[in-house]
Chain A
Amino acid sequence: MFVNVAWHSLLNRKYSVLLALISVAISTFVLLGVEHIRHEAKESFSNTVSGVDLIVGARTGPLNLLLYSVFRMGNATNNIAWESYRELAADAKVAWTIPISLGDSHRGYRVMGTTQDYFAHFRFGQNTPLTFAEGRPSAQLFDVVIGAEVARKLDYRLHDHIILAHGLGQASFSLHDDKPFQIVGILRATGTPVDQALYVSLQGMEAIHLNWKDGVKIPGRQMAAHALEADKLTPKSITAFMVGLKSKMATFHVQRQINHYQREPLLAILPGIALTELWQMMSVMENTLRLISILVLFSSLLGLSTMLLSSIRERQREIAVMRAIGASPLFIFLVIQTEALLISLSGIIIAICALAAGILFTQALLAENYGVFISHFSMNSQILGILGIIIASTLVLALIPSLSAYRMSLHQGLAARS
């Protein structure tokens, strides 16, 4: 019965109720939106690399190593000698390795020198291997495989010829224009930094630098591209390498072994742990966003209470009438609580619908323009927990008007003076 009374009472004050409803809906939308994006960001973050047991680079900070080897941000401070790499890769406990050689770029996208092993062993997400949308892994010296975003943004097709630039940066002036590469494969989109890079063989990487010294072209030392033979192009060094072990049990042992490597100072990190550390660094930002959205929600619920509280004054007569026909103060208390709950529930429903629809419509846009993949909005236990907290806070804050109505119904007599 009090639901019926509360419902009609709200309809009777549609404008102020509508405003309170919109305010609750917007703040719930913001809170749930922030939560969803945070969840998605964390998910995609921890999905960038999987199935790799160790990442090895020259000795530096773990985060730096993670950033340049996986996220392709920042630079390596030093390289690893090819001999060291071969020796460590030959260890009996090591199942496979993926060498990584960085330093060149193509129109702002980084070029990574690697081997076939990259396409065979690298995993992202939930142990998902890389697959080709078109073409195949690079086989020839001047073959290049490109990430999905590179292909889309630069509008590259299979068999296009491209020129790599020396060093990083959008507009490099030193181009390897004497040795064009041919696109032989385009990777399927992954939603990870894999999409934003170009992949050549280590030999190809070596070949384009043959007539270079200290990052500068040596004039007059042109070499015919066809004169190069792949087997003679052993690199002198690589930037980093990823390691897959035969047994996970050996991870810490191998890590220690690499960290104590005698020939040169190396660092081996566990990608999972390093990713967690990196995420924790971002948690300040994450918590700030969360705090702001909680405060926004709190103020809108407070606004809802204020709206109800000011309505109580106008409802003296109505309360007197209800009392006269036998309503207990509890009934009047429940009517006000129900009103708050109805507004808050409707606000939540509107917010969820708007968020689900908003994500549905912006998904393609975000993926296309920013390479950000956001999954559909779904009700997980965390979202349900947040909704529970919103409803509980509504009921607590609605105590202000409903207790006021309760007290009024106790002390005010039957005939409210008009």
Chain B
Amino acid sequence: MYPDSPENATLTVPEAKLDAVKINNLYFFYPGKARTAVLVIPEWRIARGARVFLKGPSGSGKSTLLNLLAGILVANKGNIEILGQNLGALSSRARDRFRAAHIGMVFQQFNLIHYLSVLDNIRLAAHFGKKDMVDLTVTAKQLFDALGLDNMLITKKAGELSVGQQQRVAIARALINSPELLIVDEPTSALDSDTRDAFMKILLEISQKQGNTLIFVSHDTALTHHFNHIVNLAEINQAGAVEYVC
């Protein structure tokens, strides 16, 4: 299933298209007095279909990197290509649309708009993804089955669900547009250990089934055995190593 596996190698896909994420000479700093670079990544690639565990201590620029990958922040220098698309070449409106259609995101907590029903949360994501969903409810219910969620929950207000249920609904929401890239940011830190294991199992199963590229951000190294790539952000980010000042 991986790009370097024999069956994929025979395909005539341009090499760039094989990468889910391709970063070249990335340079980023937040506007402000310090002007010290937060991220400096000369090169980083994630192959399509890979399952990456991204670890790093807090303050190492993980959130910044995720914002850059999602196209919410824009690099000051360098390129970020997601699925072969250079994000810097897109307008901010187009980046929003690209994110909606191709990237699914799940966070630590508060993934849902609590005053909307579960179905409306999912519907909103589908709306932004511009997916033509005639059978949105059917797709949502299939996802719910796969995630072990009760179908009755679909009409409930998101705020009425337990944290564990909310996290699983967040996966359903992230997967409704069948995104190629799934970014998950410390999704288990609000869960107790039993729920966490169940959650991990479901997440990995469903993303494997859909064939998404998975970027899993966490500092919980106990989870690393689920992944075939373990990346330490501190190793790829040279911002701390050299004092880059603009």
Residues of A at the B interface (CB closer than 8 Å) are 1, 4-5, 8-9, 11-12, 317-318, 320-331, 413-416, 418
Check B63 against A8 for contact (C-beta < 8 Å): no
- Kindly list 7 other residue pairs between chains A and B, CB separation below 8 angstroms, not including A1-B127, A322-B124, A414-B66: A321-B112, A325-B124, A326-B99, A326-B129, A327-B128, A330-B93, A414-B70
- Cβ-defined contact, B125 with A413, below 8 A: no
Q: Check A326–B185 contact: CB distance below 8 A.
A: no
A325 touches B92 (CB 8 A): no
Q: Determine the distance from Cα of A363 to Cα of B96 in the docked complex, in whole angstroms.
A: 57
B73 at the interface (CB under 8 A from A): yes
- Cβ–Cβ contact A328 & B107, under 8 A: no
B173 contacts chain A at the CB level, 8 A cutoff: yes
Which residues of B in the span 62-106 have a Cβ within 8 Å of any Cβ on A? Answer: 63-64, 66-67, 70, 72-73, 92-93, 96-97, 99-101, 105
Q: Which of B66, B93, B109, B112 contacts A328 (CB 8 A)?
A: B93
Whether B113 sits at the interface, judged by CB under 8 Å, is yes
Q: Is the CB of A4 within 8 A of B101?
A: no
10 A-B pairs in the complex with CB atoms less than 8 angstroms apart: A1-B127, A5-B124, A321-B110, A324-B70, A324-B107, A325-B100, A326-B96, A326-B97, A327-B128, A413-B63
- A-B pairs, top 10 by smallest CB distance, nearest first, are A326-B100, A12-B115, A326-B128, A325-B125, A328-B96, A413-B67, A317-B110, A324-B105, A326-B99, A1-B127
Contacts A5-B116, A8-B115, A323-B72; is A413 near B110 (CB within 8 Å)?
no
Q: How far is the CB of B12 from chain A (nearest CB, A)?
A: 31
CB atoms of A328 and B110 under 8 A apart: no
B165 at the interface (CB under 8 A from A): no
Please judge, given known A-B contacts A323-B72, A326-B125, A414-B72, whether A9 and B115 are in contact too, CB under 8 Å: yes
Q: Does B108 contact A (CB under 8 A)?
A: yes
Would A325 and B128 count as touching, CB distance under 8 A? Answer: yes
- The complex places the Cα of A8 from the Cα of B99 at a distance, in Å, of 25
List chain B residues, Cβ under 8 A from A327.
Answer: 96, 100, 124, 128
Consensus secondary structure, chain B interface = helix
B60 to chain A, nearest CB (A): 14
A323–B115 CA distance with the chains assembled, in angstroms: 17
Q: Could you tell me if A11 and B173 are in contact, using CB atoms closer than 8 angstroms?
A: no
A residues near B112, Cβ cutoff 8 Å: 321
Number of B residues, CB within 8 Å of A = 33
Instruction: Report how far A321 CA is from B115 CA in the complex, Å.
Output: 13
- B112-154: CB near A (< 8 Å → 1, else 0) gives 1111100010001101110000000000000000000000000
Q: How far does the alpha carbon of A414 sit from the alpha carbon of B125 in the complex, in Å? A: 15
B111 proximal to A (CB < 8 A): yes
User: With the chains together, A236 CA to B136 CA distance in Å?
Assistant: 96
Given A321-B110, A325-B173, A326-B128, the answer on whether A415 and B116 have CB atoms closer than 8 Å is: no
**Nearest neighbor of A409 in chain B, beta-carbon distance:** B72
Determine if A5 and B67 form an interchain contact, defined as CB atoms under 8 angstroms apart.
no
Please name the residue on chain A nearest to B105 by beta carbon. Answer: A324
Chain A residue at minimum C-beta to C-beta distance from B97:
A326
In the complex, residue of chain A having the shortest beta-carbon distance to the beta carbon of B64? A413
In chain B, residues 28-79, which have Cβ atoms closer than 8 Å to a Cβ of chain A? 63-64, 66-67, 70, 72-73
Report Cα–Cα, A256/B185, bound state, in Å. Answer: 93
Contacts A321-B113, A326-B101, A328-B93; is A415 near B108 (CB within 8 Å)? yes
Q: Do B72 and A413 have beta carbons less than 8 Å apart? A: yes
From A11, A324, A415, name the one whose CB has the most chain B CB atoms within 10 angstroms: A324
Q: Which of B66, B70, B101, B116 contacts A8, CB < 8 Å?
A: B116
| CA of A154 to CA of B177, assembled, Å | 81
Q: Shortest CB–CB separation between residue A18 and chain B, in angstroms?
A: 16
- State in angstroms the CA–CA spacing of A414 and B173 once bound together: 16
A340 to B63, CA, bound (A): 33
B185 partner, pick from A8, A329, A415, beta carbons under 8 A: A415
A314 to B: closest C-beta gap in Å = 11
Of chain B, the residue at the smallest CB distance from A11 is B115
Q: In the complex, A308→B110 CA distance in Å? A: 21
Q: Are B96 and A414 interface neighbours, CB within 8 A?
A: no
Q: How far is the CB of B194 from chain A (nearest CB, A)?
A: 23
Q: What is the chain A residue whose CB lies nearest that of B130?
A: A326
CB neighbours of A418 from chain B (8 A): 109-110
CB distance from A291 to the nearest CB of B (A): 39
**Whole-angstrom distance between the alpha carbons of A233 and B105 in the complex?**
104
Q: How far is the CB of A94 from chain B (nearest CB, A)?
A: 77
State in angstroms the CA–CA spacing of A321 and B110 once bound together: 8
Rounded to whole Å, the gap between the CB of B191 and the closest CB of chain A is: 15
Interface-central residue, A11, A321, A325, A329, by most chain B CB under 10 Å: A325
A330 to B94, CA, bound (A): 12
A235 to chain B, nearest CB (A): 82
Question: Cβ of B115 and Cβ of A416 under 8 Å apart?
Answer: no
Asked if B124 and A415 make an inter-chain contact with CB atoms under 8 angstroms apart, the answer reads no
Task: Tell me which residues across on chain A come within 8 A of B110, comparing CB atoms.
Answer: 317, 320-321, 416, 418
Determine the distance from Cα of A70 to Cα of B67 in the docked complex, in whole angstroms: 79
CA distance A415 to B108 in the complex (A): 8
Tell me which residues across on chain A come within 8 A of B70, comparing CB atoms.
324, 414
Q: Quick one: which of B181-230 are within 8 Å of A by CB? A: 185
**When chains A and B are docked, how far (Å) is the Cα of A4 from the Cα of B119?**
13
